[in-house]
Amino acid sequence: MTKTAWLFPGQGSQHPDMMADLLTAYPPAKERCEQAAAILGWSVIDCCAGRIGNLDQTLYTQPSLFLVESLLVDALKERGAKADFVAGHSLGEYVALYAAEVFDFATGLRLVQRRAELMNAAGGGKMVALIGFDREQLQGAIASTPNVVLANDNHPGQVVISGLPAAVDAVLGKIKVKRAVPLNVSGAFHSPFMAEAAATFATLLEECTFHEAIFPVLNNVEPEPTRDAAVLKARLRSQMTGSVRWVETCHALAAAGVTQALEIGPGNVLAGLVKRTTPEITVTSVGTIARLESLL
């Protein structure tokens, strides 16, 4: 029997038109956008239209993506779709937990809003995406350089390193890399340097009620499927300082028998990562209601 995973992209997949189809083709979207605006204090619709904020700024990106992806989840469920496993990349993990009914929309959005605020305020760090490198050489360079970590293990040929600027530059000086792309972020996300922000976030997290997941969830910091609410909360607590182990997530899904996946959200970033890591899993991107209806 075919097993299916639902995958949720994170920051970087956003674009100004990502709400357009939902607003015209999915009636519940308007009410959900109003609910989100009441929580956030600003409108995702207005942000996407360029009337307020900056969609590419962490503060606005993360809540906007959570709203869009959660609406697509609702539309899928209304049509009877189910997943065997769910997983999300960084921010996308929050949508995976929402899809698995670990928490409701309002709880998830409040968590994402606070996460975005803390990450937006972080400073003193640097992140660089590396494409085309010798993995053993990179691991050796990181091991011998204090204050830098492997933050995102995206696919065998693409990772992100994170840490203090001097340490990140030192690693780049020790390895050969086809391309190094500095990310437009202020902090060293997914590294121990987010510990203060993570501690502040943990206070809000502890106040939230988590329920047993209806679908097994693979977390970024521990890509082993679980439904256990306490385990899921503990893993989410570690996410801000821990690495996004996406390569291991892909292999875990393949080992569990997953042969097809839906990338639920804007763009097709995860489809590319999965294809390069586990080509036996076919990924279909679902970013609009029209696309969703063509599959069901």
Contacts of 69 (CB under 8 A, 6+ apart): 8, 9, 92, 95, 264, 265
User: Is 285 a catalytic site residue?
Assistant: no
Q: Are 25 and 95 a contacting pair, CB within 8 Å?
A: no
Question: Active-site residue among 90, 162, 191, 243?
Answer: 90
SS3 call for 127: strand
CA contacts within 13 A on the Cβ side of 217: 33
- Is-catalytic flag, 211? no
Burial class (CB in 10 A: 0-12, 13-18, 19+), 62: buried
Rounded CA separation 239/61 (Å)? 18
Euclidean distance between CA atoms 136 and 260, whole angstroms: 31
> Pairing mode, if any, of strands 85-88 and 3-8?
parallel
Pairing relationship of beta strands 158-163 and 126-133 according to DSSP bridges: antiparallel
Residue of 190, 191, 243, 285 marked catalytic? 190
> Which residues neighbour 199 within 8 Å (Cβ) at sequence distance 6 or greater?
none
- Cβ atoms of 177 and 156 within 8 Å: the answer is no
Residues noted as catalytic: 90, 190
